[in-house]
Amino acid sequence: MSETMYELFPAIEPYDSGYLSVDELHQIYWEQCGNPQGVPIVFIHGGPGAGSSPGSRRFFDPKFYRIIVFDQRGAGRSRPFGEMRQNTTPLLVEDMEKLRDLLGIDQWILFGGSWGTTLGLAYAETYPQRCLGLILRGIFLCRPSEIEWFLYGTRTIYPEVWQRFADYIPKEERHDLLKAYHARVLHPDPLISIPACKEYFRFEMSMAYLTFSEESIAKIMEDEIAAIGLAKTEAHYFSHDTFLEENQLIKNAFNLKSIPGIIVHGRYDIVCPIISAYELHQVWPEAEFIIVPTGGHAGFDPAIMRELLKATEKFKTILR
């Protein structure tokens, strides 16, 4: 694949799929695509709660990779959708391990973006012996400073986007936007929860790409399932410090030293500022750190997408 030919691989369909009961409440959806005898690579979606999509399969050469895609608890096609009970980061880590065992995989590559890097790092630091490698895009370490930036600091870059987000909440509640949105997106009345979920989703998606247009946001907003899943799950997780100990992913990064890694981060990532990727690389210098000069946050941002495709191609040689 030449430098000018890094494009998504053609759309493919799963050759296998199903549901894994991870406890008495949750069943997670999973699927496999590509080469059944290939190198296993698992796509870890973002959010939390955004779910996967058919495009999730297309970052990987289907002739080389055994591609595993799954939806985390409460997200996408997993059941029950939008369920926040028994939904924590440690439980998601164990879900991944149960899925690996179900599929008879000894080791796999982890491929995740944004929240997918959070969960990928948490899994790799818990089960480093199960990881062939990590490809991580848009590092999110889920520290209070990062959540504070997302909810308030982004107004310095996207003032009009933030103002719309804040104005949805009554003035007397705007001092704590997370609490205010949490009360609404998790409200039992869908007439209250769904519009709030869409507003929250719009806020995040409006900052995800380097170039913003009302037309592109309108297209993204058609995915109501992603809007509901992301808003509910993020509000739930952020309200509980994402169920991680303080600075846990940095403190436990010593467990990553033997794992090949590629970190891809856009210089102009507003949702997850590059400082988090930089600080991760300081404690995991063995990983290759790629700064994308014209990159934003989203995995489908063209400049970011090209680097991710390069990374999946590069791992073909790393693993030989």
Q: Which residues are tagged catalytic?
A: 114, 269, 297
Residue 240, phi then psi, degrees to nearest 5: -120, 30
Segment (H or E) for 30 = strand 27-34
- Locate all alpha helices (DSSP H) within the chain, ordered by sequence: 89-102, 115-126, 144-151, 159-167, 177-185, 190-206, 214-220, 224-238, 248-251, 275-283, 302-318
Segment (H or E) for 261 = strand 261-266
User: Pseudo-torsion of CA 103, 305, 135, 309, nearest 10°?
Assistant: 70
User: Do the bridges between strand 65-70 and strand 39-44 make them parallel or antiparallel, or are there none, so unpaired?
Assistant: parallel
Contacts of 195 (CB under 8 A, 6+ apart): none
The tokens describing 67, both together, are: 């591609």
Proportion of the chain in helix, strand, coil states, percent, rounded to 5:
45, 15, 35
**Contact of 131 with 108, CB cutoff 8 Å:** yes
